[in-house]
Copies of this chain bind each other. A is one copy, B any other.
């Protein structure tokens, strides 16, 4: 392994360790010492890569944004052309975002840091809301939505619900389980989807919760 490869590997390990500490303690309570200890590197090595806690936090946020964008792009590509149209795509993307959050501490830390450091979901929140709005518009054009389904109301509820699940996942990761988001889809699909679309989507809204 060359020196450059070793350095790149250490940098990646530091970002992961930082995410785990930020997620566990929050930004305020995390020290650079906690991060270097978790990563098993000296504070000198940490300072070679990152000059401050703020720089490290900003890097975690960037990585989280990249990971989430990639997750959404992959989910959209996989859903493309499958039965269910734009509404099916929205359901699948929403479930994949929850999956990514549940397995990826960098993404969870990034979302948490966004709110702690800038009091805002910022670009991620905006990107998510735009995606929801555009898929709902397409679903309406494609005739998958009932007349009662008001697009802006659905957009509001879905954006708030996703943020709530993410916020509650700080307390327990069980809030990211497919059955939780599935509860929402099972609740609203019969109201917003036309009977034809609802039949196609019945299996897409996630498993029923274990009673």
Contacts and interface: CB of A to CB of B under 8 A. Distances in A.
Interface of A: 24, 26-29, 115-117, 119-121, 125, 148, 150, 152-154, 156-157, 159-168, 170-171, 175, 180, 183-184, 186-188, 190-192, 209, 211
A119 B171 contact: yes
The CB with the most chain B CB atoms within 10 A, among A29, A154, A156, is that of A156
Nearest to A116: B26
A158 to B, nearest CB: 9
A165 B164 contact: yes
B157 A168 contact: no
Given A26-B116, A117-B26, A188-B191, A209 B167 contact: no
B28 A170 contact: no
Tell me the interface secondary structure of chain A in the complex.
Answer: helix
A157 B161 CA distance: 7
Given A164-B161, A191-B191, A156 B170 contact: no
10 contacts: A115-B170, A150-B186, A157-B161, A157-B183, A157-B187, A159-B164, A161-B161, A161-B164, A164-B167, A188-B191
8 A-B pairs closest in CB distance: A164-B164, A28-B28, A160-B164, A153-B183, A163-B164, A120-B171, A119-B170, A156-B183
